[in-house]
Amino acid sequence: MEVKLGFGAVPRPQYVFVKKDNDHCWYMLSENEQKIPIYDKALTGVITEIKIDRQVETAFGRVGKIDLSILADKPYIVRSGKDSYFSKSLLLSLDALTSEQLRNPLTISVSPGDSNVVFCNIYEPVTYRSVGVSWDGHNEIDWQTLGQKVSLKIDRIQNLNQEPIQISTKTTASEIHAVLIAQSNTYLAQLNWTPEQGRDYLQQKYGKRSRLQLTDTEILDFIDYLKLQLTQNCST
């Protein structure tokens, strides 16, 4: 991505929101919070991150969102409702992709369904092939566990220096929690945190003295905090 020197826009990700309307399925917001419809049905770029449990304040209270980060002509963050069909079809598609496919550009497309439903389809832009997913048994799927699995897979690709994390379709929720603990161990070691520092932070932030007591959402939040500290250390 070419860097333009001189005056210009603030270099921050562009949020894209998913919502079905008469002639479009997603939109952006202008600086004065006005909706800007996006009539194109697809966005092509490299997926760099997915956050599966973002809590966002809305007029209806705090709601769960999924944020998918994509690097294209600029960084984009596609935000969708955590329990929406778009998010569920997104997770199913990402789960079906191999690590090699996720390293390459992919096309995220929106497809309108009945009522206010919007589905997500993922294509390989070189071959024009879509990622086939099955909705069989989707009512029995543990979407939180599936989201964690997908998030770990993408995070592993973005951190190639780390030991590969083996996640399969048979991985249980308790095994994923153990993987999250192991991942936090890696970051704690890189930060040279002492056990006392870790316990003090957990007590202050979550009111808990051990990572084993954290929920999956809390430990993911803790990992995000550790990653931020590493990034800040590298920039100083």
- Degrees (nearest 5) of the Cα angle 197, 198, 201? 85
Q: pLDDT value at position 55? A: 86
* Category of 92 on φ-ψ map: left (φ > 0), alpha (ψ -120 to 50) or beta: alpha
> Which among 39, 37, 48 has a CA at the least distance from the CA of 13?
48
Give CB contacts under 8 A, 24+ apart, made by 167-173: 172/145, 173/142, 173/144, 173/145, 173/216
CB within 8 Å of 223: residues ≥ 6 apart? 180, 183, 184, 187
Query: Hey, what are 46's tokens?
Result: 């490299």
State percent of the chain over pLDDT 90: 36
Q: pLDDT value at position 168? A: 53
> For residue 236, is pLDDT > 70?
no
> pTM for the full model?
0.67
Q: Please write the tens of the pLDDT for every residue from 35-53.
A: 999 999 999 999 999 998 8
> For residue 230, is pLDDT > 80?
no
Q: pLDDT value at position 34? A: 93
What letter represents residue 88's amino acid?
Answer: K
Q: pLDDT value at position 3? A: 62
* 128: phi then psi, degrees, rounded to nearest 5: 65, 15
> For residue 77, is pLDDT > 80?
yes
Q: Contact at 8 Å (CB) between 66 and 51?
A: yes
CA separation (Å) from 92 to 10, 16, 134, 198? 34, 20, 8, 35
What letter represents residue 66's amino acid?
Answer: I
Domain locations in the chain?
Answer: 1-142, 170-236
Of 23-32, 75-84, 188-197, the one with minimum mean pLDDT is 188-197
Q: Please write the tens of the pLDDT for every residue from 137-152.
A: 778 888 988 898 898 8
Torsion sign over Cα 55, 158, 151, 131? positive
> For residue 234, is pLDDT > 80?
no
pLDDT bucket at 163, cuts 50 / 70 / 90: very low
